[in-house]
Amino acid sequence: MTLKQHLSQRPLRVAIIGAGPAGVYAADILTKAERDFEVSIDLFDQHPAPFGLIRYGVAPDHPRIKGIINALHKVLDRGDIRFIGDVTYGRDLMLSDIRDLYDAVIFATGANDDADLDIPGIDLEGSFGASRVVSWYDGHPDVPRDWPLDAKEIAVIGNGNVALDVARVLSKHADDLLVTEIPDNVHAGLKKSPVTDVHIFGRRGPAQVKFTPLELRELSHSRDVDVVLYPEDFDFDEASDEAIRTNNQVKTMVNTLTNWVVEQEEEEQTASRRLHLHFLQAPVEILGEDGKVVGIRMERQELDGTGNVRGTGEMIDYPVQAVYRAVGYFGTEIPEVAFDEKRGVICNEGGRVLDADGAVVPGVYTTGWIKRGPVGLIGHTKGDALETIGNLLEDHENLTPASNPSEDAVMDLLRERGVEFTTWEGWLALDAHERKLGEEWTAAGKGERERIKVVPREEMVKIAREGQSLK
Q: Domain locations in the chain?
A: 3-112+331-419, 113-329
> Could you report the per-residue pLDDT of 201-230, keeping only the tens digit for each?
999 999 998 888 888 888 888 999 999 999
Looking at residue 53, what is its pLDDT?
Answer: 87
- Domain at 3-112+331-419, CATH class: alpha beta
- 137 vs 144: CA distance, rounded Å: 10
Whether 1 shows a pLDDT value over 80: the answer reads: no
* pLDDT confidence band for 381 (50 / 70 / 90): confident
Backbone angles phi, psi at 245, to 5 degrees: -70, -35
> Could you report the per-residue pLDDT of 257-295, keeping only the tens digit for each?
999 999 998 888 899 999 999 999 999 999 999 999 999
Looking at residue 376, what is its pLDDT?
Answer: 66
Whether 434 shows a pLDDT value over 90: the answer reads: yes
> Could you report the per-residue pLDDT of 350-377, keeping only the tens digit for each?
999 999 999 999 999 999 999 998 876 6
Looking at residue 107, what is its pLDDT?
Answer: 98
Least-confidence region, from 20-34, 57-71, 302-316, 395-409: 57-71
**One fold for both 3-112+331-419 and 113-329?**
no
- 224 vs 207: CA distance, rounded Å: 27
Q: 456-466 burial, b for 16+ CB within 10 Å, e for fewer?
A: ebeebbbbbbe
Whether 63 shows a pLDDT value over 70: the answer reads: no
Looking at residue 414, what is its pLDDT?
Answer: 97
Question: Is the CATH number of domain 113-329 3.30.1330.10?
Answer: no
Identify the burial level of 212 via C-beta atoms within 10 angstroms of its C-beta, where 0-12 means exposed, 13-18 middle and 19 or more buried: middle
Looking at residue 402, what is its pLDDT?
Answer: 96
Cβ neighbors of 364 (< 8 A, separation 6 or more) are 95, 104, 105, 107, 337, 352, 353
- 292 vs 125: CA distance, rounded Å: 5
Q: What is the DSSP string of 104-141?
A: EEEE-----EEPP---TTTTSBTEEEHHHHHHHHTT-T
Residue 449: left (phi > 0), alpha (psi -120 to 50), or beta?
beta
Looking at residue 57, what is its pLDDT?
Answer: 87
Whether 470 shows a pLDDT value over 90: the answer reads: no
The percent of residues in the chain predicted with pLDDT above 70, rounded, is 99
The percent of residues in the chain predicted with pLDDT above 90, rounded, is 80
> Could you report the per-residue pLDDT of 160-192, keeping only the tens digit for each?
889 999 999 999 999 999 999 999 999 999 999
> Could you report the per-residue pLDDT of 65-97, keeping only the tens digit for each?
777 889 999 999 999 999 999 999 999 999 999
Looking at residue 377, what is its pLDDT?
Answer: 66
Is residue 9 helix, strand or coil? coil
Q: What is the DSSP string of 302-346?
A: EE-SSS-EEEEEEEEEE--SEEEE-S-EEPPP-TTS-EETTTTEE
User: What is the rounded average pLDDT for all residues in the chain?
Assistant: 93
- 303 vs 205: CA distance, rounded Å: 7
> Could you report the per-residue pLDDT of 105-164, keeping only the tens digit for each?
999 999 888 999 999 999 999 999 999 999 999 999 999 999 999 999 999 999 988 999
